A and B are shown apart, each in its own frame.
Chain A
Amino acid sequence: MKKHLFGLSLTLGAVVLGVAYVAKKTGFFENDSHLYDEFESR
């Protein structure tokens, strides 16, 4: 049982890491709001 749980956790962890990697590579979490900072009136 413990072995199964360990395997499941490992698989789940790998999937989460994989999704996070793809999301980062494709800019899924990028936020462009800071790109407007240079247009602010000073």
Chain B
Amino acid sequence: MRKNKAIMIGAGLSNMAAAVYLIQEGKWQGDQITFYSLDDHGANDGATTDSVTDEYWNKNHPLENKKGYVARGGRMLNYRTYVDLMDLLNRVPSTTEPNMTAAEDTRDFDAKHRTFDKARLLEGDKGIIDGGKLGFNNQDRLMLTKLIAMPDSEEEKLDNVTISEYFKDDPHFFNTNFWMMWETTFAFRLQSSAQEFRRYMHQMIYEFTQIEHLVGVNRTRYNQYESIMLPLINYLKDQGVKIVLDRLVTDWDFKDTPMQDEITVTGLEMLNTKTNKKEHVDVDDDTAVIFTNGSITDSATMGDYDHPAAENMDYGAASSLWKKASERFYNVGNPDKFFADRNASEWVSFTLTTSDHVLLNEITRITTQVPGNALNSFISTSPITELGQRDVNMSIVVHHQPHFTTQKPNESVIWGYFLYPRRRGEFVDKQYIKMTGKEMLQELIGQLSKVDPGPGNIRDKESEIMDSVINNIPVYMPYASALFNNRAKTDRPKVIPAHSTNLAFTGEFVEQPYQMIFTEQSAVRSGEIAAYHFAGIPMANLVKTPRYDKDLKTLARAAKKMFD
């Protein structure tokens, strides 16, 4: 249904995208669009620590040490599949590179800094291991082939099936190099949805042949807040879009209809988090409400070098509002599937800032690759999974430096994460979630020492490295993998639910054809669909999505790789 005004709930990538498409394709004026949100960092944020410590989720957990930088999460790009994201970035100017769009900026940087990971998997006593040997047996090949061969029209067969359930008769699969690389490249867990795993196998099928080197990965010049979000924010502000932060939208007013199946928003309740006062905004007949109904960084909390990140038990701002809508309407999904199972979704990450490059140089020596290429995953010495198998216990990403525009030449920033935060460290005997930033660094140095080819060992420089630390910020994210949680297809609302007259859902918790989530691609496309719907633009004008899963050459290469 065509509208002439829009209220955006949430100021993440998907709603920013919706606003850009409304302006550029729908020919709207910026002042027709208003955002209400708690912050505008997006899920893949990056900023100086002092600029984010007082944000909503961390306000009850003040930090003593606010130095250094923090990136709660991070995601690698991929031009070949992230076609909607690249289309979007081509529409806004870069904030750091004159006379370039944000897309040209990324393409320029990436062309000069191609990814070729040489140390994707590392194992004690062996050092770098050859991840190119995927390690499949015939049962693994059969199960994976069945998954890839399942057509889109039959994916409901995987409703409410976890990955571990799908491979329940084939535990060997989880001990392969393939699984250890796939789980840590994309952040799948054993409890994650087999349906989503299938979508990844389809959309990322060509990555199958090159996953040990990540050559299909593209990267932004700086962190994704400065290279993706800021260009969008600046563009929208220049267009006159109103972006109101410090607003927590808490409830809906819906139109009463006889069958209660028409979805029409008539008003929004919100809390001004600065004044702590309630506010009400009327929604008239000519206004669309575009709602990002979940965020993987909701309820995230930060610690510092001497303190672990506190555990925030809040349900999440966006998902709480989604839950209120789902309690009223039958066709807008089930948020509990994603936000009431932390055991399946939580992670801990850390962002380490040092005042020199000693650690960076040591990692370069041990992994034999320059910063910017790496996603290094360390395999445990002993069995750590519920199936009694070894697994990756931590991963690090060493970005090209500088990773932040304000980073000084002498500083290094390194990011890492623990996919299973309740597991215990090998070098610091406590759960990762309970570790301080200092203890996480000690664990990292321990892992690096285990795979150090010598001569000498990184341990020889441990005190020098510890002395160089400006800060190490642990971040607990209870919902980091929530978008992968086990689900049925009906557990997520469609971007435009049936019988909706003015409400659209965007982001990573919506259902749209073929798209895999936890990608900037699906987030942007959901916003694009919502914008086209309310601006009356035919869906045939959406960016065309390539289908590598139907490309015979790609399929043949994948089949060959399966036998390596």
Residue ranges of A at the interface with B (Cβ–Cβ < 8 Å): 25-28, 30, 32-33, 35-42
Chain B residues near A41 (CB-CB < 8 A): 1-2, 532-537
Residues on B with C-beta less than 8 A from A40 are 533, 538-539
17 pairs, A vs B, C-beta closer than 8 Å: A25-B149, A26-B151, A27-B154, A28-B151, A30-B153, A32-B514, A36-B542, A37-B539, A39-B494, A39-B533, A41-B1, A41-B532, A41-B533, A41-B535, A41-B536, A41-B537, A42-B1
Please tell me which one of the listed residues A26, A28, A36, A42 contacts residue B513 in the complex, with CB atoms under 8 A apart: A36
Nearest chain B CB to A19 CB, angstrom units = 11
Instruction: List B residues 523-539 near A (Cβ within 8 Å).
Output: 529, 532-539
Residues of A within 8 A of B539 (CB): 36-37, 39-40
Partner of B149, one of A26, A36, A38: A26
Is B553 in the interface zone, CB < 8 Å from A? Answer: no
Kindly state whether residue B340 has any CB partner on chain A within 8 Å: no
Q: Flag if A39 contacts B534 (CB, 8 Å).
A: no
Chain B count of residues within 8 A CB distance of the other chain:
26
CB of B496 within 8 Å of the partner chain: yes
**Residue B387 at the chain A interface, CB threshold 8 Å:** no
CA separation between A25 and B154, bound complex, in Å?
10
* Cβ-defined partner of B151 (8 Å) among A25, A35, A36: A25
Q: Does B152 contact A (CB under 8 A)?
A: yes
**Which residues in A have their C-beta under 8 angstroms from that of B133?**
none
Chain A, residue nearest B149 (CB): A26
Additional pairs, 6, CB under 8 Å, beyond known A26-B151, A41-B532: A26-B150, A27-B154, A38-B496, A40-B538, A41-B536, A41-B537
CB <8 Å contact, B536 and A39: no
- Tell me if B559 counts as interface (CB < 8 A to partner A): no
Which B residues contact A (CB, under 8 angstroms)? 1-2, 149-154, 494-496, 498, 513-514, 529, 532-540, 542, 550
Within 8 Å by CB of B152, from A25, A30, A37, A39, lies: A30
Q: How many angstroms from the CA of A39 to the CA of B495 in the assembled complex?
A: 8
Determine the residue in chain A with the shortest Cβ distance to B504: A39
- How distant is B522 from chain A, measured CB to nearest CB, in Å? 14
Assess the A32–B154 pair: CB atoms within 8 A: no
Kindly report which residue of chain B lies nearest to residue A27, judged by CB atoms: B151
B263 to nearest A CB, angstroms?
A: 14
In the complex, chain A residues whose CB is within 8 Å of the CB of B513:
32, 35-36
What residues on A are CB-neighbors of B496 within 8 Å?
A: 38-39
A25 to B529, CA, bound (A): 30
List the A side residues contacting B534 at CB < 8 Å. Answer: 41
* Contacting residues, chain B, for A36 (C-beta < 8 A): 513, 529, 539-540, 542
With contacts A38-B494, A41-B533 taken as known, whether A32 is within 8 angstroms of B2 at the C-beta atoms is no
Contacts A27-B153, A28-B550, A30-B151 given; does A38 touch B498 at CB 8 Å = yes
How far, in angstroms, from A42 to B499 measured CA to CA in the complex? 11
Residues of B within 8 A of A30 (CB): 151-153
Minimum C-beta distance from A22 to chain B (A) = 8
A27 and B533 contacting across the interface, CB-CB below 8 Å: no
Smallest beta-carbon distance A29→chain B, Å: 9
Closest to A42 in B: B1
CA gap between A36 and B514 in the complex, in Å: 11
In the assembled complex, the CB of B532 is this many whole angstroms from the nearest CB of chain A, namely 8
Q: Are A39 and B550 also in contact (CB < 8 A) when A25-B149, A26-B149 are?
A: no
Nearest CB of B to A33, in Å: 8
Residues of chain A within 8 A of B152, CB atoms compared: 27, 30, 32
A3 smallest CB distance to B (angstroms): 33
In Å, the complex CA distance between A40 and B538 comes to: 6
In the bound complex, residues from chain A placing their C-beta under 8 Å from that of B550 are 28
